[in-house]
Amino acid sequence: MAYLVEWQVKAALIVVLMVVVFALFLSKDTLFNRNRIWLLSTLILPWIVPVLAMPASVRSIFFAERTIIELPDLAIPLSNQVATPNQSSFTWEWSHLFITIYLLVSLVLMIRLVWGYIYLVKLKGKSKKLKVRGLNLYLLDDEEINPFSFFQSVFVPQSVMEQSNRDHILNHEQAHCRQWHSIDITLAEWMLILQWWNPFAWWLRKLIAQNHEFCVDKAMMQTTEEPKQYQYSLINYLPGSTSLRLVNNFSQSLIKKRIIMMNNTIQNKFKTQLKGVFIAFLTAIAMLACTDSDKVSSDKVVETLAGSRAVINYEDGTNYSVVLTDKGLVEESENIKGAQFILNGEIADWSLLKGLKTHEIKSLGQIPVGQNFKDVLSADNNGAIFVMTKGFEIPKSDQSISDQIIYLNGERYTKDINSISPDNIEAINVLKGEAAIAKYGEDHSQGVIEITTKDFESTSHDLESNSSNEVVVVGYGKMEDNTVNNIVKKGDNVQPEIIIDKNK
């Protein structure tokens, strides 16, 4: 619902922008076909622009850069409590009242539009039809209805056929039909249904009808043998008292302005056209602010995870690694241990991962040997490579990342996780259940996220901070002689000996 409201507001802003620009800079020009294109664009663009992706350069102007660290879901077990349905889940908000009013008014306007179409069909049914100069001409019994056109049909009172200015009236309405002005009117009516609360939408409807008359007047001045007689016919015509909304009425509205526009000439057509192009360009730039900021288009080189690597280490000193290159995922070593693959939380074959394109991959990581991931791996697994694509959303668990216990470079981290630069992260490890309890204690049973940064000196730090009776393996190598006579196991009540470069 919030997205629909945002869409409506952005559409309204675009309507305001384009109507104001037209009124200030374009409305006095006699390039009426260009003006028609502008007004038609004002009916269409407000519903397209808000769903387009915002260029990254524009987003950087309006929004601060957000650092997002994506971590795999911990799949924390649910509690034993039984959920009971909420007996009173609906709560009244003021927004519901506004939405109800909006929908009711829109419904009334839609009913009025449909009724207008039905009325036109009824008029056709009870009017006498003639074929005059290729026109579908309908003679009306009601003399109070002004002559009008609707798509390819012209409606006039029967008395018009006896008037001296009959040809001017028929040619005027025929010009409306040839230029398909009814399409513009129909789109404008639907705009009012969706944007009835926007006064600029009503102004737009009026400007469209006014420009139609200018377009037809210009066509009449170019085709009629007596332009002055056409202008006099506009002044002398006595209109009826009834005008319909959904059609192009023959009327005396804005007669003074129409005659002035008919007699205006463009001093420099090239400059006038160039002004229109320049104004259109500036308006398009301004409309970029109304595009969708959640969808950012790549107006620069697409940033990928190319060069990222996932490595599974084994106790015998071997490892299995996968690297993301510009051509996709590539194995750096043979998968002799039978490591598995997880794609978007599900077990997958290597052939599926290998077929992914580099720009499609959002996250790449590894699951250590013996650890599970969302209960899709067995307890005795030989590790797994997990991949998440950009179109995949991680399901939310009962405990958000902000609630998890985080250790940064071996020390408890209590700040916002988003303050850690993703570019500085070397590795992320997730412990849960017994693995977390064994390493950190009972109060860490809900899971632990271990983050290691690239600028962290792992060996020296581990030697200084590790006070428990636990052997921490920070690397693997081949012993050239038997320098260690006793093996210290986790849980022994002794202080382990530490040997660096064969020295205690």
Q: Are residues 316 and 212 in the same domain?
A: no
pLDDT exceeds 50 at position 180: yes
Q: Are residues 391 and 242 in the same domain?
A: no
The last residue of a domain, from among 256, 276, 293:
293
Domains of the chain: total: 2
Rounded Cα gap, residues 475 and 500, in angstroms: 12
Q: Are residues 35 and 178 in the same domain?
A: yes
Confidence of residue 253 (pLDDT cuts 50, 70, 90): low
The DSSP letter of residue 289 is: G
Q: Are residues 287 and 344 in the same domain?
A: no
Greater pLDDT, 246 or 270: 270
Query: What is the per-residue pLDDT for 392?
Result: 67
Mean pLDDT of 431-450: 82
> Which residues form the domain of 269?
2-64+94-293
Query: What is the per-residue pLDDT for 468?
Result: 39
Confidence of residue 85 (pLDDT cuts 50, 70, 90): very low
- Among the residue ranges 80-94, 114-128, 245-259, 478-492, the one predicted with the least confidence is 478-492
Task: With beta carbons less than 8 A apart as the criterion, state whether 176 and 219 touch.
Answer: no
Question: Is residue 77 in a domain?
Answer: no
Question: Is residue 434 in a domain?
Answer: no
Confidence of residue 499 (pLDDT cuts 50, 70, 90): low
Phi, psi of 466 (to 5 degrees): -85, 105
The last residue of a domain, from among 293, 323, 346:
293
Query: Tokens representing 153?
Result: 């049909």
Q: Are residues 22 and 104 in the same domain?
A: yes
Q: Are residues 239 and 318 in the same domain?
A: no
Confidence of residue 289 (pLDDT cuts 50, 70, 90): confident
Task: With beta carbons less than 8 A apart as the criterion, state whether 128 and 157 touch.
Answer: no
Question: Is residue 115 in a domain?
Answer: yes
pLDDT exceeds 70 at position 71: no
- Among the residue ranges 51-65, 89-103, 106-120, 337-351, the one predicted with the least confidence is 51-65
Alpha helices per DSSP H over 306-360:
350-354
Query: What is the per-residue pLDDT for 120?
Result: 93
Q: Give the dihedral of Cα atoms 459, 461, 462, 466; nearest 10 deg.
A: 160
Q: Are residues 274 and 339 in the same domain?
A: no
Query: What is the per-residue pLDDT for 487?
Result: 40
Query: What is the per-residue pLDDT for 378?
Result: 67
Confidence of residue 387 (pLDDT cuts 50, 70, 90): confident
Share of residues in the chain with pLDDT > 70 (%) = 75
Query: What is the per-residue pLDDT for 164?
Result: 80
pLDDT exceeds 50 at position 445: yes
Question: Is residue 354 in a domain?
Answer: yes
pLDDT exceeds 70 at position 409: yes
The residues with which 311 forms a beta bridge, in sequence order, are 321
The contacts of residue 52 (CB under 8 Å, 6+ apart) are: 291, 292, 295, 297
Query: What is the per-residue pLDDT for 20?
Result: 96
pLDDT exceeds 80 at position 331: yes
pLDDT exceeds 70 at position 457: no
Query: What is the per-residue pLDDT for 40?
Result: 96
Question: Is residue 247 in a domain?
Answer: yes
Query: What is the per-residue pLDDT for 109?
Result: 96
CB atoms within 10 A of CB 399: 13
| Strand pairing class (328-331; 340-343) | unpaired
The last residue of a domain, from among 246, 262, 293:
293
Query: What is the per-residue pLDDT for 162?
Result: 84
Q: Are residues 27 and 168 in the same domain?
A: yes
Question: Is residue 110 in a domain?
Answer: yes
Confidence of residue 165 (pLDDT cuts 50, 70, 90): confident
Query: What is the per-residue pLDDT for 63?
Result: 63
Query: Tokens representing 369?
Result: 């040997």
Q: Are residues 124 and 209 in the same domain?
A: yes
Q: Are residues 171 and 317 in the same domain?
A: no
Question: Is residue 121 in a domain?
Answer: yes
Query: What is the per-residue pLDDT for 282?
Result: 92
Residue with tokens 């071996």: 410
pLDDT exceeds 90 at position 185: yes
Give the predicted TM-score (pTM) of the model: 0.57
Q: Are residues 193 and 230 in the same domain?
A: yes
Confidence of residue 42 (pLDDT cuts 50, 70, 90): very high
Query: What is the per-residue pLDDT for 407?
Result: 87
3-state secondary structure of 3: helix
Cα–Cα distances in Å, from 284 out to 14, 300, 317, 416, 439?
10, 19, 60, 39, 58
Question: Is residue 75 in a domain?
Answer: no
- pLDDT tens figures, 131-158: 887 789 999 988 888 889 999 999 999 8
Query: What is the per-residue pLDDT for 500?
Result: 53
Q: Are residues 336 and 240 in the same domain?
A: no
Confidence of residue 440 (pLDDT cuts 50, 70, 90): confident
